[in-house]
Amino acid sequence: MTMNVFGYAAQSATDELTPFRFDRREPRPDDVVIEILYCGVCHSDLHMAHNDWGWSFYPLVPGHEIIGRVMAVGADVTRFKPEDHVGIGCMVDSCQHCPPCEQGLEQYCEAGSTLTYGSYDRHDQKPTYGGYSEKIVASEKFVVKIPGGLDLAGAAPLLCAGITTWSPLRHWKVGPGTRVAVVGLGGLGHMGLKLAKALGAEVTLFTRSPGKETDARRLGADRVVLSTDEAQMSAVKGRFDLIIDTVPNVHDINPYLPTLALSGTLVLVGYLGDLTPMLSSVPLILGRKSVAGSVIGGIAETQEMLDFCGQHGITSDIEIIQIQDINAAYQRMVKSDVKYRFVIDAASLKAQGV
């Protein structure tokens, strides 16, 4: 039997999000049925709602930073039981047999991972709907456990902002003695600072905005560099093993390349699209430096990240909102007027959906 669910959806690229009722699928034997408690609000939600990337279809129910409570499990489910606190991130399925999937890197599935929203279920070809809703159904393979003791609302953005910065930190083997810089202090950037610091790295924030030093140091930065100040940029020339660039819009990455150490890497995690101006190859060639990209993380590394956050007491800095305030939150997010992630209290959905 399908499950009728209340949520909020965009009906077109120009519409605000409004109340929307829709059906979730009948649970399969490997499915977990989850009551949503909290859902983070990601920059990707805004881009998808507005069709900024050109592949959105409607109606669209955003939300891929989902924390919930297990309501029921299918007959084949072994990892979860009712009342467990669990999470769902950006994916709910993948082919499971291509080389990336076999390595636990489902986000790079060669057939394309099934996104939590704005995608099509690979089994029944029906649209996927996200976490701005009361309940969700997903395969247990794509559900993760939330460690006890973590604030549930603060844990929600770990499912996207957390794993998006954790995956490159782990891939480039960040640890004690590593020098890491983070470009941008937003939802992604503040998690990058926290996680890099907890891994034992020396951490620097690059920012274009004066006045962020106190907050940056609270979040884990050892140093703050104003990227528009030539003297400050010159002072960190050749310093960083890894730069995580979290900026979500078009920007010039060339000023950061001289600050990479020999064989250092700048990894883009915040912007999807063409960068301008043209990339200069000179600092790359003369220092064996690299510009790379990374997107979210696999399910195994997402669980690893959550367990690490549980051990170190790491959550996101959040502002809890009611679902009725989502359009105002989007407007504020465009202005970077949030420290550092909005999280929807799903109780506001239940109250409105009665």
Question: What CATH number corresponds to the domain at position 240?
Answer: 3.40.50.720
59 and 188 fall within a common domain: no
Predicted pLDDT at 353: 63
Q: Show the tokens assigned to 278.
A: 């043209």
Total domains in the chain come to: 2
127 and 262 fall within a common domain: no
94 and 194 fall within a common domain: no
What digits encode the pLDDT tens for the residues 187-228? 999 999 999 999 999 999 999 988 899 999 999 999 999 999
Number of other residues whose CB lies within 10 A of the CB of residue 53:
12
Q: Specify whether the CB–CB gap between 113 and 88 falls below 8 A.
A: no
CA 34 to CA 303: how far, in whole Å? 18
Predicted pLDDT at 273: 87
- Read off the CATH number of the domain in which 57 is found: 3.90.180.10
* Of 271, 293, 315, the domain-final residue: 293
138 and 169 fall within a common domain: no
Q: Would strands 31-41 and 66-73 be described as parallel, antiparallel, or unpaired?
A: antiparallel
117 and 254 fall within a common domain: no
**Residues of the chain where predicted confidence (pLDDT) is lower than 70:** 353-354
CA 345 to CA 142: how far, in whole Å? 22
CA 347 to CA 328: how far, in whole Å? 18
196 and 154 fall within a common domain: no
DSSP state of 346: T
* Of 246, 270, 293, the domain-final residue: 293
343 bridge partner residues: 40, 320
Predicted pLDDT at 93: 98
What digits encode the pLDDT tens for the residues 96-124? 999 999 999 999 999 999 999 999 999 99
152 and 20 fall within a common domain: yes
Count of residues in the chain: 354
43 and 142 fall within a common domain: yes
Phi, psi for residue 28 in degrees, rounded to 5? -90, 170
237 and 331 fall within a common domain: no
116 and 144 fall within a common domain: yes
Q: Quick one: which of 277, 244, 271 has its CA closest to 260?
A: 244
Predicted pLDDT at 354: 58
Q: Quick one: which of 19, 138, 36 has its CA closest to 346?
A: 36
What digits encode the pLDDT tens for the residues 324-350? 999 999 999 999 899 999 999 999 998
Domain that holds residue 233: 162-293
* Of 293, 316, 341, the domain-final residue: 293
Phi-psi region of 63 (alpha: psi -120 to 50; beta: other; left: phi over 0): left
137 and 9 fall within a common domain: yes
Burial of 102 (0-12, 13-18, 19+ CB in 10 A): exposed
Tell me the CA distances in angstroms from 14 to 10, 123, 271, one per residue in order. Answer: 8, 31, 22
287 and 303 fall within a common domain: no
